[in-house]
Every structure is written in C-alpha cells, then in structure tokens.
Structure 1
Amino acid sequence: MRNLSAFALQFLPAALVLSALGLLFAAIVQHPAAPLTQLSGVIKRRGRGALGIALVMCIGMAAFWTLKFHIPHVVPFYADPALAEIDRALHFGDPWRWAHSIAPAAAMGPMLVVYFPLWLLEFFGCIALAAFHPSDRLRFTYLLSFTATYAGLGIVVATLGASVGPIFYDQFFPGEGRFAELIPTLKQSPASSYHFLVADRLYAAYASGAADIFAGISAMPSIHVAVATLNALFLMQISRWLGFAAWAFTALILYGSVYFGWHYAVDGYVSIAAVIAFWKIFQARMR
C-alpha cells in the first residue's frame, strides 16, 4: 500500500501535468492558430481512455516495485559470478573498465542526468504519447510490450537470474574483491555523491528489510535499458528522426548502466533482445 499511495499521490499527478504540457505543446505546433481547440478535441477523444491507462499504470508500477523488493526472499542473489564471467568472456575483459576508459570522470555529472531524470522524462512522455495516440494498433502494441517488459523481464527473469550488479558485488560476495577498483574509480568524480546516495539507499533498504518506493536491488535484466529500447521501437513508428534519437538514447543508457556499475553489459543485451521480441510478437497480433 505504501508504494501504491506514493505513486498515486506523487507520480500520477506529475505524469498528468507532464502529459498536459506535452499535449499543449503538440497542439501549438500542429495548429498554432487554434491550439486550444485541437487540445480539446484530443482530450474528448482519448481523455477517458488515457486516464484509465494512467490509473492502471499506477497500480501496476506499485505492484512491480513491491514484488521486486521481495525477489531475494524467493530466490537469494546467486547469479553474479556467472554473469561477471560471461561479461568478461564476451568483452575480453570487464566492460566497466572499457566504459571508464572512454569517458573521463568529468562526464559522470551529465551521464547521471541522462540516466535518471531524462530517462524518467522519456518514460512518462512515451506512456502519455501512447495513451493519447489515435492509432489503436500502435497504442496496444506499446502497452502490451510494456506490460510484458515489466512482468516478464522485471519480475520473472529478474527472479530466475537474481543478481545485484557490479556495484554491490563485493558486499554480497565478499572475499573475491572482483570489483574492488570500481568503487574508487567512480568516486573520482565529485558527481558520484548522488550516485552513491541512491546505491546506499537501495542497500540499506535490503539490509533492513524496510520496503520503500523504488527500493529493490536487481541487475539481470536491465529495466532501464528495456524501457529505453521499447520507447525507441515506439518512437520509430511515429517519426524516423525521433526513433534515431531514441536509439541513440538507448545506447547511452546501456553505456551508463555499465559505467555506473548498476548492471553487467549482458543484462542490457538480454533486455534489448527480449523487448524487440515482445514488440514483434504483439505488433504481429495487432494486424
């Protein structure tokens, strides 16, 4: 209930405000002479359905975060050594080292903006765009793929592949020191304080058993990468340029997931492959 009330009282109002601003902007661009008339028509056609989608999303996301928090109670974290080995074999070394060799420590601040607020903005924006989109086929393809992503990947696969990610590896698998250099490398940037604020909050919630909104450790698969992939597939159907930009954004999210130590690179690869499969399956069924 705590997650549900948090989403209902905090994130649902924020999503509705962002949706309204987005619709107004689109109306001004499409019909500058009469944007309010255009906006009124869109709300009349899709307002009730969009509100229903928002409410279902609110309940679904609250359920997702509640279930995610309890994954280690069902399957204790075990898969990290295998995932780390797969990553090392695929990339002829640890991917996080490659990521940090490309971007200097000063890049961490902008990357955090991309990984958190910009990802969240795209998350809400695409849900709103799908909710108000006139094409039933595209809307249902997106919503069904979204549901499969969170339920299939975020719960089922995350439970089967219960893992914590490189940033927590040495806390859950002490003695190996496999990622001992990752933490000091990240802390070379002044911007790392926010990054570790999030990490410490997640670990504290796990250690204390105190469920909270956005509390729940899970590496395999990457939902961040999965959602970015889904949005890229969706936006490509609306505009090629939006789609190309969204795929570039997905690449940045994948890179950031490895750079920050939240995920093994293979977590993102699995997410991309699965979401593309979901999209193709539901797109075919909507014909």
Structure 2
Amino acid sequence: MRLVIRSVYNNNSVLVELGKGKQAIVSGKGIGYQKRPGDEILSSDADNLLYLEDDRIKKHFATLLKDVPIDIVVTSFTAIDMAKKTYHYSVLNYIYVTLTDHIFQMYKHLMNGKYQTSMVPDIHERYPTEYAIAKDVLKLINKNLNVHFPDAEIKNIALHFINAKGVDAESDPTDTLSMKVNRIVNAVFKEYGIKRNLNNQNYFDRLMIHLQYLVERVQNKTLDDHVLNNNIEQDFHRLYPKSYEISGKICGQLESNLKITLNENERGYFIIHIQRLIQESENVLP
C-alpha cells in the first residue's frame, strides 16, 4: 500500500493519504522521524493504521488535536474503531469527541494525583456488550498511554457507548428515540453552558442513565404514575428556579419534538438530577 505523508504529528505518528481522498493515522516507533509532507513510508513499518472514514471523523480529529495530545486522540479513535469492527457496534459520531475528552480529563487527573473513582452505578447486567467493549477499551488505554486506570473506570467508558449507540442520520434515516432524547438534552445543556467535569461527573453520568430508563419507560408506556406531594413542584420552583427552568425547557422540547407526554413525576426527576448537576444554591424566599 502506498502511504504518502500529509502531516507529521511527532516521531511516532503521521497522517497519510491513501488515494481517492482517503486518509489514515499511522503509528509506529520512529515512523515520523525526519519525515516531511510528501514523503512515502512503508505499510510494513506501521504498528497501527487508523482509517479516518469520512469527513465528519476527519473534522473531529483535526479539532481535538488543537487541545488534546495526539497519543490520547489516536487511542480514543482506535478504541472506537475496535468497538465497531470487533463487536459490530454502531455509534453516533459525537462519541469521538466525548470519549476522547473523557480519557483526556481522566488522564490529567491521574497524572496530577486527583483521580477519583466515579460513583456511577454498575449496570453491566443490562448492557453486557457495552461493558465488554469498555473492558477492552480500558486495556487499550492503559497499554497505549502507559497508565493504570482501575477497573472501576470500565462503567464510565461503557456509559459513553451506551449513550452513543445508534447510526447518524446522515448515514441512515433511522433515528432512534434514545438518539433524539440525548440530542435534545445535550442541546439544552449547551445553551446553559452545562458540561461534564470533575465536580459534577457522578451526577452527570447518573442523569445519562436516567435518560436510558426514561426511553424504555416511554417505549413500554410504563411512566411512573406514583402521586407526588402537591407542594413539591412549588417548592422546587421556589428553591431551585434555574434547575426548574432548565428542566421545563428540556421536558417541553421532549414533548413537542417527540410527541410524548411526561407526567409531573418525570418532570420532578429531571429537576432533581439537574439540581444535583449544577449545584444551584437554595433560593429561599422570605
């Protein structure tokens, strides 16, 4: 195979042209040493060949390289490629960004001695494939980055695959309910500047799990019909106005766009999750 270098990232990683507009990341010890764009390298010298399959993935790769070390980006993309090929697991393209960012943040915390085990519940019995993928991904991370994340990190990695399962609409017109719910919630979060970070990671991940169960309840028509105290909604509105506002916007868009009806219990659960997530101070009125 003719591999023509387009960019040299470091001594061990280069971007190559494969012809017909196809590109790949080639990794190998010293493979980029004293090389320049336009030089050719032998495929036999490559330890790993990671194909950038379409323009969206190429764009994600280029964007991430601005802030994330090449070794971490390549490791994340290789992990996703492994899940696709080994487990025949389809994912939405945004996982290239979310998983890479997660690995990068956890790597920095580990190097700074600030790594904390997430309190996300173990749901491997419900998602055995995703947990199997995550177990292999963790091995890949530890090997490629020469670190040792504990096995507890498996459930965090699995959650990324659970949330990103599906096929992008540009590739396939099929759009699952889970995909639509995640897209709406993430759009509202972006509007309010809400992101997963070290301080809120446990609550953020719990909310993502709640969304998976919400989808199942909507599909099976088994929404919680337990009657809450009539004063709870008023109390939430009074004590946590921002959480109440965000929850209301999410629920409103879910109902409008997906043609579903969420009862007051489901709205209340959203307020609780979002309040924990943003840690809004109690706004107690006199």
TM-score bracket for the superposition, by shorter chain length = under 0.3
Which structure dedicates a bigger proportion of its chain to strand? 2
TM-score normalised over the length of structure 1: 0.25
TM-score by length of 2: 0.25
Looking at both structures, which has the greater relative contact order when contacts are Cα pairs under 8 Å and sequence separation is at least 6? 1
Which structure features the higher share of helix residues? 1
